[in-house]
Structure 1
Amino acid sequence: MRKKLIEFRNVSFRYGDEEPWVLKNCSFEVYENEWLAIIGHNGSGKSTIAKLMNGLLFPQEGEIIINGQQVTEETIWDVRKDVGMVFQNPDNQFVGTTVQDDVAFGMENRGFPREEMIKRIEQNLTAVGMQDYRLTEPHRLSGGQKQRVAIASVLAVSPKVLILDEATAMLDPKGRQEIMRTVSNVRAEHALSLITITHDLREVVQAERVIVMNSGEIWDEAIPREIFSKKDALREIGLDVPFVAILTDELKKTGMTITNEPLNQEELLEDLWTLHLRT
């Protein structure tokens, strides 16, 4: 049985005493070496969850436990050693004049020996395919390259959990695919827990589990295939449905018997080929 790394226990949050609740009585867990996707429309509370996990915010009600420690102002620096976060705009995270300086920054703050820093800079830039840009100024990079460097900077301090908070929102479709491919490879190599927070259902097909947020509450929690099967309900709460799911529905209307809920084009093609062989 996998260890719990993050626990939300009846967590509620609002940005002011007179403001509406952004989160309402939320409870869930994140496990060791798990890929969890948290999705929802803008304003559903998903990005607030990310900030609460990293101690950028504190709940008014409930408890948050990270690797056995309750998140408080006293424990926040220990918590942040276990939880790394990559934001929507990587420019907000850059502090170094070169790529390698930026990757080194977090390690310097934690007092890593110089030899270890050099080793980790090389390892983590290689992991995200940016080793040839180590002396490049960050502002000269493309959006996708910046996100890769941001991921390398977080990985360098060896967190147990990596959170991507709308990390692909500013990228074009090709850039999104590259980042998600990079993240998948990095997760497999480092055996860390990954939390992707997005409103784009296309990014969650690789996740083991999905939490759907709506108006500050957990609307549903299931594996991706089960979530994608609820197309009409997802549309009602403001979420786009992947094209593969829409195409599958249209094919079913023509009388085709597609028993599974395909998560991607490859699965749909496999189903169609199997159907062809049977007829």
Structure 2
Amino acid sequence: MGKKLIEFRNVSFRYGDEQPWVLKNCSFDIYEKEWLAIIGHNGSGKSTIAKLMNGLLFPQEGEIIIDGQQVNEESIWSIRKDVGMVFQNPDNQFVGTTVQDDVAFGMENRGIPREEMITRISETLSAVGMQDYLLTEPHRLSGGQKQRVAIASVLAISPQVLILDEATAMLDPKGRTEIMQTVNNVQEKNELSLITITHDLQEVVQADRVIVMNDGEIWDEAIPRDIFSKKDDLREIGLDVPFVAILADELKANGISITKEPLNHEELLEDLWTLHLKT
């Protein structure tokens, strides 16, 4: 692991004094340039974690440190320069009358010089494949195109951390795949820390590390392969496992020796082909 970028230290949160705790004494670290997926059933606390990282909420107990700064009301504007967030519904993030205006908005608020803004608008829209839509009105875009522009708007402020909070949930499978390919390319090029909060198992298996939330607590934290090896335990807390993992179990039950927990169809086919060559 590299340098710690985000630290949650015994963080607890609830939406009101009489409400139940949404997060309970959560501690974990996020590192520079890593892809962390946070999963859990609805109400498990995962989206609350995202809002706490971005300073949209503040913990009642514990502390959050981002790049050496404690997240509080005094540091919040500095924190938001480092942490960009893309939500499930991109329409909630649009403020400009054109794609160009929308990408420029965050930079204008930060006083970035006009020449630099023009360069960043061009670079970020090119990075997400939307350079030909500069003067298009956002409401004329498809769902996937809107998410690309929302991602470009966040990238334009040059954050260290990009959070996707169910950002592909409203897209069809093709759109989800395209957006995640775009995000993956952007992360590698810009060397960002990427945090995805998602129900999409195909996103989860691509991550470097996974945190599983259950009833406001960290249920487990490991690499995807280790997480999805606990199929029965995951089902008990209301989570699915990848279809390829279920298929591998069925093959094992029928006497076919799968040597490892496959995360995708390519791994399973490779294992089966190796087995075939041995026989």
TM category, shorter: over 0.9
Structure 1 CA distance, aligned partners of 2:173 and 2:118? 33
AA partner of residue 93 (structure 1): Q
Structure 1 residue 47 displacement after superposition: 0.0
Alpha-carbon RMSD across the aligned residues, in angstroms, is 0.7
Structure 1, 8-17 or 198-207: larger mean CA deviation: 198-207
CA contact (8 A) 1:124 1:152 kept: yes
- Provide Cα deviations, 1:31-77, integer angstroms capped at 9, x if missing partner: 01111110001000000000000000000000000110000101100
Q: SS of 2:11's equivalent? A: strand
Alignment partner of 1:2 is 2:2? yes
Q: Determine the structure 2 residue equivalent to 1:61.
A: 61
Structure 2 CA distance, aligned partners of 1:252 and 1:140? 50
Q: Determine the structure 1 residue equivalent to 2:100.
A: 100
AA partner of residue 252 (structure 2): K
Over the matched positions of the two proteins, sequence identity in percent amounts to: 86
Matches within 5 A, 1:198-209: 198-209=198-209
Runs ≥4 in structure 1, deviation > 4 angstroms? none
Matches within 5 A, 1:115-130: 115-130=115-130
CA contact (8 A) 1:12 1:25 kept: yes
Q: SS of 1:205's equivalent? A: helix
AA partner of residue 247 (structure 1): L
CA contact (8 A) 1:39 1:201 kept: no
Q: Determine the structure 1 residue equivalent to 2:43.
A: 43
Residues matched between the structures, number: 279
Q: Determine the structure 2 residue equivalent to 1:252.
A: 252
- Provide Cα deviations, 1:7-31, integer angstroms capped at 9, x if missing partner: 0000000001010000000000010
Structure 1 residue 134 displacement after superposition: 1.1
Q: Determine the structure 2 residue equivalent to 1:191.
A: 191
Structure 1 residue 99 displacement after superposition: 0.6
Structure 2 CA distance, aligned partners of 1:247 and 1:202? 15
AA partner of residue 5 (structure 1): L
CA contact (8 A) 1:200 1:240 kept: no
Matches within 5 A, 1:21-170: 21-170=21-170
Structure 1 residue 241 displacement after superposition: 1.3
Q: SS of 2:241's equivalent? A: coil
AA partner of residue 199 (structure 1): H
CA contact (8 A) 1:34 1:194 kept: yes
Structure 1 residue 259 displacement after superposition: 1.0
Structure 1 residue 206 displacement after superposition: 1.3
Alignment partner of 1:237 is 2:237? yes
Structure 1 residue 200 displacement after superposition: 2.5
Structure 1 CA distance, aligned partners of 2:182 and 2:43? 28
Q: SS of 2:206's equivalent? A: coil
CA contact (8 A) 1:83 1:160 kept: yes
Structure 1 CA distance, aligned partners of 2:213 and 2:4? 21
In the alignment, structure 1 segments of 5+ residues that lack a partner are none
TM-score (normalised: structure 1): 0.99
CA contact (8 A) 1:42 1:199 kept: no
Structure 2 CA distance, aligned partners of 1:223 and 1:75? 32
Structure 1 CA distance, aligned partners of 2:203 and 2:235? 17
Q: Determine the structure 1 residue equivalent to 2:226.
A: 226
